[in-house]
Amino acid sequence: THVIGEPCIGVKDASCAAICPVACIHDAGDRYAIDPDRCIDCGACIAVCPVSAIMPIALRPTEWREMPG
Ligand code: SF4
Ligand code: F3S
């Protein structure tokens, strides 16, 4: 799965949710989040995020690890 981290907080651009082919990105309060059971790892959301908040879970910075989705 891919994950959305701290840079999304307070920005919530939502371009990622609009482009996701399986519509697995949702508003999670202070940020958006990805449903790990539905994400197909296409990577389309990465390029459209203006604050680079999205990446494959394997590359997630350690300071994001407590953030689900
Ligand atoms: Fe959606 Fe693809 Fe991003 Fe997963 S990697 S959240 S399927 S756009
Ligand atoms: Fe957040 Fe970037 Fe999506 S700011 S809502 S992860 S486009």
Structural domains for the chain: 2-64 (3.30.70.20)
Instruction: Tell me: ipTM over 0.95.
Output: yes
**Residue whose CA is closest, atom 3 of ligand 1?**
45
* Continuous segment of H or E residues that includes residue 44: helix 44-48
For residue 11, the CA-to-ligand 1 centroid distance in Å is 19
**Residue whose CA is closest, atom 2 of ligand 2?**
49
At 20, is the pLDDT very low, low, confident or very high (cuts 50, 70, 90)? very high
Mean pLDDT of the chain: 93
For residue 58, the CA-to-ligand 1 centroid distance in Å is 14
Residue 35 has pLDDT above 90, yes or no: yes
Mean pLDDT for 1-13 is: 95
SS3 content of the chain, % helix, strand, coil (to 5): 30, 15, 55
